Amino acid sequence: MIDIAAQFGDNLARARRQADLSQEELSVMASLHRTEISQLERGLRIARIDTLVKLASSLEVSAGDLLAGLSWSPGGKRLGAFVERREK
Amino acid sequence: MIDIAAQFGDNLARARRQADLSQEELSVMASLHRTEISQLERGLRIARIDTLVKLASSLEVSAGDLLAGLSWSPGGKRLGAFVERREK
């Protein structure tokens, strides 16, 4: 199991440092509270997609870059169900 | 101003139809409630990034595909605003 919030937080903190921005600067560019950025970087909350778009554009990275390391293995299409079995 | 939820909902519905999946089938693959998928497609709620990853993987598209048309113009001294991005 991946800790989604922690992985995203690591990605965000790394991208922010690479962009040489403070949390305060990023918060102004992305119109977010600095507190929210701090909480996201520490894995204390999970971002919504509008926040993802704001952060990725402000950091000049792709949304995929900020989601690096996050993946999902899809389940099968159908739920199990009782079926009729014909006796031979 | 872009309606983030509506744009994402359009992208999601289009990708789901291209994958030839019903809302029910997608909900099973992504371990989400069918109701949530319905609400997302109708632009009634904004997905979190964990939901984005589940949906993109289940539909075999990138997160960026589901975020098509969503972009953010970062503020500097000015406040940022969502802007329309034209697809080529």
Q: What are phi and psi of A71, to 5 degrees?
A: -150, 165
Q: What predicted TM-score, i.e. pTM, was given to this entire model?
A: 0.87
Average pLDDT over residues A73-88: 75
Q: Which has more confidence, A86 or B37?
A: B37
How far apart are the CA of B82 and the nearest CA of chain A, in angstroms? 8
Q: Which pair of structure tokens corresponds to residue A12?
A: 């965000």
CB contact under 8 A, A75 and B4: no
Q: Write down the mean pLDDT value for chain B.
A: 91
Of the pLDDT bands very low, low, confident and very high (cuts 50, 70, 90), residue A58 is: very high
Distance CA A8, CA B39 (A): 25
- Percentage of chain B with pLDDT > 90? 80
How far apart are the CA of B78 and the nearest CA of chain A, in angstroms? 8
Asked if pLDDT for residue B25 goes beyond 70, the answer is yes
Q: Give the largest Cα separation in chain A, rounded.
A: 73
From residue A50, give the alpha-carbon distance in Å to each of A85, B32, B42, B50: 49, 20, 16, 13
Mapped onto helix, strand or coil, the DSSP state of residue A6 is helix
Among partner residues A4, A53, A76, which is closest to B70 by beta-carbon distance?
Answer: A53
Q: What is the model's pLDDT at position A62? A: 97
Place of tokens 């994402």: B8
Among partner residues A29, A64, A74, which is closest to B63 by beta-carbon distance?
Answer: A64
**ipTM value of the model?**
0.87
What are the tens digits of pLDDT across the range A12-55?
999 999 999 999 999 999 999 999 999 999 999 999 999 999 99
* HEC string for B12-23: HHHHHHHCCCCH
Q: Which 8-state DSSP code applies to residue A48? A: B
Q: What is the model's pLDDT at position A86? A: 77
* HEC string for chain B: CCCHHHHHHHHHHHHHHHCCCCHHHHHHHHCCCHHHHHHHHCCCCCCEHHHHHHHHHHHCCCHHHHCCCEEEECCCCCCCEEEECCCC
Asked if pLDDT for residue B79 goes beyond 80, the answer is no
Asked if pLDDT for residue A1 goes beyond 90, the answer is no
Q: What is the model's pLDDT at position B76? A: 82
Of the pLDDT bands very low, low, confident and very high (cuts 50, 70, 90), residue A88 is: low
Distance CA B69, CA A80 (A): 37
